[in-house]
Amino acid sequence: MDLEFRELYQQLILDHNKNPKNFGKLQVCNHQSVGMNPLCGDHLKIEVNISPNQYIEDIKFSGDGCAISRASASIMTSIVKGKSIPEVKIYFEQFHSLLTTDAIPEDDLDERIAIFSGVREFPARVKCATLCWHTLLAAVNGKENISTE
């Protein structure tokens, strides 16, 4: 990723941190989980309303976290809203692979996921970026709490 794009992506992350999408509490929620990252103090709650045919009808997050954690949750909720649970799991795998391996070329990813490619250079921040994704999967699977430790 060249410098111009990296700066644009950093700006997008900062914008999602300051003005997060889908932040708050759902009025109707049938799945939820709380995620903790003890290393940096990120704490968030994911609330999801999943339809009987396994689509995410609505999703919100709340809590406190660093800029990467909040931006990741904001972008994740925007991506998965309206998606099926199997699609959500594919997005999770792509996101996790992007941050932990070089297996997936950035050009093959949703651009909203690709903006986090720079996080891979800071291993301590990978848990910040993936916390919301792990928390979402925990909610979908009926786990009330999850930790990155």
Label residue 127 by pLDDT band (50, 70, 90). very high
Residues of the chain above pLDDT 90, percent? 62
| CATH number of the domain that residue 79 is part of | 3.90.1010.10
Averaged over 32-38, what is the pLDDT? 95
User: Which residues on neighbouring strands pair with residue 32, listed in sequence order?
Assistant: 47
SS3 104: coil
| Domain with 105 in it | 3-147
Question: Picking from 13-17, 80-84, 134-138, which range would have the lowest pLDDT averaged per residue?
Answer: 13-17
Cα gap 23→7, rounded to integer Å: 25
pLDDT digits (tens, 9 = 90+) for 52-98: 999 999 999 999 999 999 999 999 999 999 999 999 999 999 998 88
Number of H helices, E strands in the chain: 5, 4
Count structural domains, the chain.
Answer: 1
pLDDT at 63: 95
